Amino acid sequence: MIFYELYLRSFYDSNDDGLGDFLGLKNKLDYLCNLGIDYVWLLPIMKSPAFHGYTVSDFYEVNPVYGTLEHLKNTLKEGHEKGLKFVLDLPINHVAVSSEWFQKALKGEEPYKNWFIWANEKADLDEIRHWDDSKIWQKIGDKYFYGIFGPASPDLNFENPELWNEIKKIFKFWLETGFDGFRLDAAKHIFDFDIEEMHFKYQHEKNVEFWKEMTKYIKSIKEDAIVISEVWDAPEIVRKYEGIFDIGFNFPIAEDLKMTLKKESPSEFNKTLIKCIPEYLPDGKVLSKSGNFLTNHDMTRILSDLKDEEKVKLGFSILYTLPGVPFIYYGEETGMKGIPKDVNFTEDSQEPFHWYENGFGPGQTEWKGYKFNPPYSGESVEEQKKDKNSILNTVKSLISFRKNNLWLENAKVEILNFDENVVELRGYDQLHEIIAYYNLKSSISSFFLQNGQELLSIGNNYIENNVISLAPFGVHIIKKK
Ligand code: ACG
């Protein structure tokens, strides 16, 4: 399985209003198929006042800027015919201020007013969330509501069982619309508030109970629906949620792999595997698959972060040889750049995806001006296609390698050897075995090469007398059986 995280507004425009839309995606399904994508993860497409869509004003309506529900259904249908599947990003931890639920709650209407959390005399109105200095209480008129993600997104109060049923209806609606699964936003935040003590507190056990019930419900509607969770936290916390979902995003590996690549350090690579994917090491047991990625829409884009195309290709090569499920954030494959100003402002890593060298042409989206990706900077599909060593063509060969070795998704891995420059990694199951050599350094590095059939080589690597000289950040993969 290969996933592609897609931001519709930036993808392809079918009606010349500058905004990407459902029919635009329908026009470009072949781009995704040719790349080798299996699942498209659509960032939120429900009605929302926000460009990112994470504050939903109506869970049963599509955002009109993207087209109609019929357009969406047609797009999903055509995608299905081409063998693609679609996962919807569903943020249910909170709603938009303009949502009917919150507006009715503000007027004191039952049951809605109990669906939110209102400050009382016990609340500390200056309390801040633990990862930055944003306040958790938001003022509206003469009231304060709990909103962990800011003043535009009141949190729902899941202490109400009737709300659980409302959420189930939403899952059912989107499965019946044609989606094949969900990316569950902010999964650790459903219960992140202590209603007795009136302050922020993660309640992982309650979250687990909630998600078990939701996942069971989703699968009762569609047996093979795929459920992916977003728990952005340290490995010991992420592990609390294992086994409930099909795939859990592996934030620790995203962070540590990038750090390893920045430090150019084989010993760090070793530590990263032990810390971040112990379940795939020889003695481990896999409960949920590891969702492996380098960046997502909340992060600095990979080329802006690593600042070196060859290093980016190395990062992808590691991702496509490790067990688990690889994810691409749109534009990573073409070398797009972008640095969000802070966690509350992701627009800068969601710039229009460029199809043309000169920055315009049919279907090109232009909902915002470019800041990081100007015309003729090499990151358009047109330019990337022409250069055989481009990131796009490298990602294509890596995906094709992965598809010829689907067993890798459930493989075991171990590091056989490493020196100051190179890592020798073994991936295996009962029937297969590969060895991958990664040069983590910006200089040419030599390493003893085992006998085997070459599967993939990235960079100007050459072999002499069982020794491979790997190009800076070069990769070489062989098949043992
Ligand atoms: C999701 C979406 C995001 C969206 C929302 C809200 C949630 O991807 O686009 O915001 O619908 C936290 C949440 C995540 C959330 C991000 C943006 N992502 O947990 O669910 O914020 C720490 C915290 C994390 C935190 C992260 C953010 O623990 O909880 O994520 O910081 O930087 C080590 C530590 C680890 C630590 C990291 C990073 O790994 O182990 O704990 O994570 O370092 O320091 C959207 C918009 C927002 C808007 C909102 C309504 O983007 O602007 O406000 O919608």
pLDDT, tens digit only, all 481 positions of the chain: 999 999 999 999 999 999 999 999 999 999 999 999 999 999 999 999 999 999 999 999 999 999 999 999 999 999 999 999 999 999 999 999 999 999 999 999 999 999 999 999 999 999 999 999 999 999 999 999 999 999 999 999 999 999 999 999 999 999 999 999 999 999 999 999 999 999 999 999 999 999 999 999 999 999 999 999 999 999 999 999 999 999 999 999 999 999 999 999 999 999 999 999 999 999 999 999 999 999 999 999 999 999 999 999 999 999 999 999 999 999 999 999 999 987 666 789 999 999 999 999 999 999 998 999 999 999 999 999 999 999 999 999 999 999 999 999 999 999 999 999 999 999 999 999 999 999 999 999 999 999 999 999 999 999 999 999 999 999 999 999 7
Looking at the fold, whether 180 and 324 belong to one and the same domain comes out as: yes
Q: Ligand 1, residue 234: give the atom nearest the CA.
A: 40
Give yes or no: residues 173 and 244 share one domain. yes
Q: How far is CA 58 from CA 45, 98, 131, 458, in A?
A: 11, 9, 29, 47
Q: In terms of domains, do 41 and 65 share one?
A: yes
Which residue has the CA at smallest separation from atom 28 of ligand 1?
A: 233
Calculate how far, in angstroms, residue 127's C-alpha sits from the geometric centre of ligand 1.
18
Q: Is residue 152 part of a domain?
A: no
> Cis (ω within 30 of 0) for the bond into 49?
no
Q: Whose CA is nearest to atom 9 of ligand 1?
A: 298
Q: Are residues 91 and 108 in the same domain?
A: no
- Cβ atoms of 339 and 348 within 8 Å: the answer is yes
Final residue in a domain of this structure, among 404, 421, 445 = 404
- Ligand 1 centroid, distance to 31 Cα (angstroms): 30
Distances, alpha carbon 115 to alpha carbons 60, 173, 199, 249, in Å: 18, 21, 17, 28
Q: Catalytic positions, please?
A: 185, 230
Q: Are 194 and 203 in contact (CB under 8 A)?
A: yes
For residues 108 and 226, state if they share a domain.
no
- Considering the domain architecture, whether residues 129 and 256 belong to the same structural domain is answered as no
Same-domain check for residues 292 and 384? yes
Residue 467 counted as domain residue = yes
The enclosing domain of 191 has a CATH number of 3.20.20.80
189 and 246 both lie in a single domain: yes
Task: Decide which of 146, 177, 211 is a domain's last residue.
Answer: 146
Residues 164 and 16 in one domain: yes
Domain count, the chain: 3
Residue 151 lies in a domain: no
Nearest Cα neighbor of 88 from 110, 66, 116, 104 is 66
Ligand 1, atom 20, residue with closest C-alpha: 186
In this structure, what token pair is assigned to residue 115? 């669906």
What stretch of H or E contains 142?
none
For 316-407, list the strands marked E by DSSP: 325-329
Residues 331, 461, single domain; the answer is: no
Q: What is the pLDDT of residue 224?
A: 98
Task: Name the strand (E) or helix (H) holding 390.
Answer: none
| CB of 55 closer than 6 angstroms to any ligand 1 atom | yes
Q: Cβ(234) to ligand 1 under 6 A?
A: yes
Which atom of ligand 1 approaches the CA of 150 most closely? Answer: 53
Angle, nearest 10°, between helix axes 309-321 and 391-404? 10
Cα-Cα-Cα-Cα torsion 15, 20, 26, 29, nearest 10 degrees, comes to: 140
Separation between Cα atoms, residue 39 and residue 47, nearest integer Å: 23
Q: How far is the CA of 232 from the centre of ligand 1 (A)?
A: 7
> Is residue 150 lining ligand 1, measured as CB closer than 6 Å?
yes
Residue 428 lies inside a defined structural domain of this protein: yes
CB distance 54 to ligand 1 below 6 Å: yes
What's residue 48's pLDDT?
98
Q: Which of 299, 202, 211, 197 is nearest to 257 (CA)?
A: 299
Place of tokens 């019930």: 213
Write down the pLDDT at residue 84: 98
Tell me whether residue 213 is in a domain: yes
- Whether 151 lines ligand 1, by a CB cut-off of 6 Å, is no
The answer on 355 and 328 residing in a single domain is yes
Which atom of ligand 1 lies nearest, measured to the CA of 298? Answer: 9
Q: Is 89 in the pocket of ligand 1 (CB under 6 A)?
A: no
| Three-state SS at 171 | helix
Q: Residue 449: give the domain boundaries.
A: 411-480
Q: Which two tokens stand for residue 204?
A: 């992982």
Residues 104 and 235 in one domain: no
Whether the full predicted model's pTM is greater than 0.75, yes or no, is: yes
Q: Does the beta carbon of 232 lie inside 6 Å of ligand 1?
A: yes
DSSP secondary structure, 402-439, as one string: HHHTGGGGG-EEEEEEE-SSEEEEEEE-SS-EEEEEEE
- Rounded distance from Cα 140 to ligand 1 centre (Å): 24
